Amino acid sequence: MPSYTAPVEDMMFLFDKLRNNKNYNELEKYKEVSSDLVKDILQEAAKINQNLILPLAKAGDENPAVLENGVVRTPPGYKEAYKKYIEDGWTSLSCDPKYGGQGMPKTVSAFFDEMLSSASLSFKLYSELSIGAYNCINHHASDELKNKYLPKIVEGKWSGTMCLTEPVCGTDLGLLKTKAEKQNDGTYKISGQKIFITSGDHDLTENIIHLVIARATDSPVGTKGISLFLVPKFVVNQDGSVGPRNGISTGSIESKMGIKGSATCVLNFDEATGYMIGKKDKGLNAMFTMMNLERIVVGIQGLGISEIAYQNSLAYAKERKQGKTNKTKSANGADFIIEHADIRRSLLNMKSIIEGERALCFWLSQQTEVSLNHHDEKVRQEASDFVSLMTPVVKSLFTDLGMEITNDAMQIHGGYGYTKDQGIEQLYRDNRITPIYEGTNSVQAADLVFRKLSNKNGDIINKYIDLIKTETDLDNEKIKPFIKEFKYYLNILIKFSQWIKEKTKTDKDDVSAAANDYLKTLGFVSVAYAWIKVLDVSFKDYNENKNFYDDKINTAKFYFDKVLPRAEQHYKSAISGSSSIMNFKFN
């Protein structure tokens, strides 16, 4: 079984030193969230993840969730762990105190999401969608529904799901067949089948609250006729108690490559009672509140799995002997593999990406809070646009690089990485879903280039680039070599963005073919931007903690030397166009 130590020191560094965001610091609701409080939370989070949840990863992989006589049973140990998990209040961390939450900002809850992803992604998924459902209900449902359902979801006694996909449609939701028939009492009868529903059924909570998209019988076809409904597994009585079983049954659970402890279900809705959330035929707008936040969390899943893969690779490289280096330290026998240049390159590649991603995610968490809570509407909108721009980047880049990192981790472990003994191959398998669900990474890339670079509020990518230029205009002599290098790649991003805008008008196949490359270029430059913010602090506060900041500076240097150049490679590949792709004749 892999070992894991939560990176609390690095997380606290970000919270303490990278809070220099004027708009974020103006949020009144978080004025009392002190460094000491956050440190206490993260240390307790580390304990439960390292001691209680980490062992569940192997248990869930070896004893997957099963469907028996219509009942989904979770793996051994899950029930006991979940009971402790909700007793300690972890489901309520970022929720509104009005409904029993602790009211912590996403700058804190994102750290917890990462830890939980490292410890056991399968276990995490049973509560993760509950927070998404909470956010969606909180933003779009009536006060009656909020007051009836949110306290139990926040407490963790009830869980939530997101029911979109059907056998006839994956991403193309306009094709859905699930129908909703209005009743005289204002409720709806929901009928249809949903597939690939994460945590769609289980034995951890006393009720499951499904958020289901469906088409009312008098609504138009296509995406314009989709509404959103709250459909509980058990009907909730007027007094808030759990009533009779609703018209929902589990048809099967998927046999999967990874995340085997998580029950991925086929759900059948047979005239199940549902309650409309938001406006009729505007269901996708409401659902995207849940989906967009979930996409960021999926990116954090990739980050969390990358972290545990790196930690175990580093430990193994320090204890495994194999071959001799050019500067061997062994008189006879072999050197530790961490002395080999290629192994060191792999480890630094992991480390520089992980720490840069974590810093970028912290910045994005700040922007998310500003978009939701700032008193100035203009400031809120700008932050919302930045979150919208970076959501597909974080979702896709972090999960794609998670595949690279878990693959390299297996390679460092050699044959032991391929066997189940070390648990490294499970990290690869568990992460493999992250580039697929919540919209495949190619869908994210298309969304980025066709919808996110500009919108009704203007040229968002140029606003983002202007922000980067302002925040990287630094005087410190020691950081100037990094700034010079950064500006070179920022100019590539500027040229690439202009190319995308021009090609959108003339040849959309060129844009489609370049979409993944553009997302990667924007991603690698954005991670570099986060590293510049880290370097600024590292040079200024160097004497406070020389060892820590030396590590940061040298890790950043590797990123700028060895990882950031990929941005240019993607640019050069993309601007070659799509003719060799679209004109090719497959036999």
Please name the residues in contact with 583: beta carbons below 8 A apart, sequence gap of 6 or more. none
Cβ atoms of 435 and 398 closer than 8 Å: no
Picking from 587, 529, 520, 586, the residue whose alpha carbon sits closest to that of residue 560 is 529
Mark residue 448 as left, alpha or beta (left: phi above 0; alpha: psi -120 to 50; beta: remaining): alpha
Start-to-end Cα distance in the chain: 46
Q: What tokens were used for 266?
A: 């086929």
Picking from 440, 441, 452, the residue whose alpha carbon sits closest to that of residue 520 is 441
Spatial separation of the C-alpha atoms in residues 267 and 211, rounded to whole Å: 12
Spatial separation of the C-alpha atoms in residues 230 and 277, rounded to whole Å: 7
Among candidate residues 128, 155, 307, 438, the one labeled active-site is 438
In 185-282, alpha helices (H): none
**Is residue 438 flagged as an active site residue?**
yes
Give the bridge partners for 556, in sequence order. none
Please name the residues in contact with 577: beta carbons below 8 A apart, sequence gap of 6 or more. 507, 510, 513
Spatial separation of the C-alpha atoms in residues 506 and 537, rounded to whole Å: 44
Spatial separation of the C-alpha atoms in residues 280 and 290, rounded to whole Å: 17
Picking from 130, 120, 132, 102, the residue whose alpha carbon sits closest to that of residue 205 is 130
**Residues acting as catalytic residues:** 438
